[in-house]
Amino acid sequence: MKFFIDTADIDDIKELAATGLLDGVTTNPSLIKKSGRKFFEVIEEICGVIEGPVSAETVATDHKTMLEEGRRLAGIAKNIAVKVPLTVDGLKTCKTLSDDGVMVNVTLCFSATQALLSAKAGAAFVSPFVGRLDDISEDGMALIEDIRLIFDNYDFATEILVASVRSPMHVLEAARIGADVATIPADVLRKLFDHPLTDKGLATFIQDWEDTGESIL
């Protein structure tokens, strides 16, 4: 499963990219606002740090303007994935851009039939929001299972990008189901490295090694 980081914070992106475990970045207008940076400036900087797909979101709601925005965003760098909302106009834009060879990430997906439409529109990625479904007492991960089944039934190339991830358990479940990508906030990504038994075991090994008086180098 690929790991994308769900942030527009360049320091977090650089720090976690240095692990060699990051495959891409997703942003949205709320994350851009949170970064306090200018949109084009921060997206260009992210594309310079990350080789994999960097999602940049359109904000128009009509097809014509959204398409113009998408083309402008796609011109920033080769690894831009243009993000469009899961609306009729968004899917029309997805189809046009995808036919032109642009990577498109269809966002704000909350049902399996919406995901099916995204695949038919040629999306490179569809982003089902598991956390926001859990928030309203619906089962976000059941949606991922449904989409996996449907995409496998028809061999769709569209990648399932699990979004609105809130905890390591979301990442674990996404991997169990066989989602293609999880986009993970920096704080959740850092938690994936941690286990108290790792810390405890390492402390013992270091102490015992010191007691031997030996050195490797």
Residues near ligand E4P (CB under 6 A): 6, 26, 28, 107, 127, 129, 131-132, 163-164, 183
Contact present, 155 and 172 (Cβ < 8 Å): no
Nearer to ligand E4P, 92 or 132 (CB): 132
83 is catalytic: yes
Which candidate in 14, 33, 83, 120 is catalytic? 83
**Least distance CB 86 / ligand E4P (angstroms):** 12
For tokens 């180098």, the residue is 217
Nearer to ligand E4P, 116 or 182 (CB): 182
Dist CA 52 CA 25 (whole Å) = 8
Q: Which residue is nearest to ligand E4P (CB)?
A: 164
**Least distance CB 29 / ligand E4P (angstroms):** 9
Dist CA 127 CA 121 (whole Å) = 14
Dist CA 118 CA 166 (whole Å) = 24
**Least distance CB 33 / ligand E4P (angstroms):** 12
Nearer to ligand E4P, 7 or 96 (CB): 7
Helix residue ranges, H only, 121-195: 130-135, 140-154, 168-177, 186-191
**Least distance CB 91 / ligand E4P (angstroms):** 17
Angle between helices 88-99 and 63-74 (to 10 degrees): 40
Nearer to ligand E4P, 7 or 198 (CB): 7
Give one word for 36, left, alpha or beta, with left for phi > 0 and alpha for psi -120 to 50: left
Q: Which residues are catalytic?
A: 83
